[in-house]
Amino acid sequence: MNVFFAGTPECAIPALQAIAKAYPLAGVLTAPPARVGRGKKYADAAIAQAVAELKERGVIAQEVPVFTPEKLNADFREAVAALRPDIMVCFAYGKIFGPKTLALFPHGALNIHPSLLPRWRGPSPVPAAILAGDSTTGVTVQYMAQEMDAGDIIIQKELPVEPSDTTETLLTRCAELGASLIVQALKTVETGSVTATPQNHTAATYCTLLEKDSGLLCWQDDAAAIDRKIRAYTPWPGAFTYWMGSKLSIIQAHPYTGNAAAESPETPGLVLGIDKREGVLVQTGKGILAVQIFQKETKKAMQWKDFLNGAAGFIGTTLRSLPET
């Protein structure tokens, strides 16, 4: 069975590797090169780089084409059809497939989605699970449908959300699980033993695309909610606040468990002091947040002690949700 793979970011690499070891690849679709880093130089997508490496290792045949179109137009569909793929697998490609593209695959198209559908349909299910305080999430392999993430479910497995999980750590585990599940799903399709269960659409919940400013912290929130936001937006777009009119990123923190964590009348955002074991203490709408790692704009991330050495007068100031005018 010839598999056509579509994916873009690093989290899609384990699935690509697992499929390439189990099935012949007809082709790979990924996003075109994009400007990255401070120098804004063009770089290939993570999947394109992975394909090149797998070709060097002999895992993927040299002749397997990699498509990086700006649009999935008629020329693209004609080129894919010529490869005679049997099925498509998608994990975080980044664009919606229309009916003409989906019709190219006799056995349909499968999607790897890092949530327990129908919970968290949409483009940011892992941050959504952390933000909501979910104790469990997982990975779903489903048939693709015209409505986003609404297709019938082939296989699904749970994963625990650990109290310290960031989007980076949780997505890494989801990616590894997804790689295992997609091979299982493909085998059922290949043998004709696949069963697919329709979703309960009335139980669906949705998440939205993250924006650059999504990580702005509101100190009126409680400490637990702010902690979840910091973890949900690591590594991107990152959680941040404003201090002395400049952007200040909060890289790592947790709700403070010391004696001072009781109810306090202090202003949310006020930097109260330090705890030698837990870090810099900041008042929130309910409870205190202990911050371990800060990052000034255009600077490297720093442990709280190093940060304080270069931030005279930080204790006693107030962190804000808007730059001071």
CATH number at 235 reads 3.10.25.10
Q: Are residues 187 and 229 in the same domain?
A: no
Q: Are residues 38 and 177 in the same domain?
A: yes
Q: How many domains does the chain have?
A: 2
Integer Cα distance of 284 and 294 in angstroms: 17
pLDDT at 185 over 60: yes
As a whole number of Å, the end-to-end CA separation of the chain is 62
pLDDT in tens, 235-273: 999 999 999 999 999 999 999 988 755 556 789 999 999
Q: Are residues 173 and 55 in the same domain?
A: yes
Q: Are residues 196 and 227 in the same domain?
A: no
- Supply φ then ψ for residue 41, to 5 degrees: -85, 150
Q: Are residues 151 and 24 in the same domain?
A: yes
Q: Are residues 231 and 196 in the same domain?
A: no
- Its domain, for residue 45, covers 3-203
Q: What is the pTM of this model?
A: 0.95
pLDDT recorded at residue 258: 83
Q: Considering only 15-19, 168-172, 184-188, 254-258, which range has the smallest mean pLDDT?
A: 254-258
- Which of the 8 DSSP states describes residue 216? B
pLDDT recorded at residue 37: 72
Amino acid of residue 230: I
Average pLDDT of the segment spanning 208-235: 97
Task: Report, in this order, helix, strand and coil percent for the chain, each rounded to 5.
Answer: 30, 25, 45
Is residue 324 a contact partner of residue 242, using CB atoms and an 8 Å limit?
yes
Is residue 20 a contact partner of residue 53, using CB atoms and an 8 Å limit?
no
Closest CA to 319 of 239, 241, 222, 203: 241
pLDDT in tens, 72-126: 999 999 999 999 999 999 999 999 999 999 999 999 999 999 999 999 999 999 9
CA torsion 193-151-11-29 (nearest 10°) is 90
pLDDT recorded at residue 75: 97
Mean pLDDT of the chain: 95
CATH number at 111 reads 3.40.50.170
* Residue where one domain finishes, among candidates 175, 203, 231: 203
Quick check: is 122 in a domain? yes
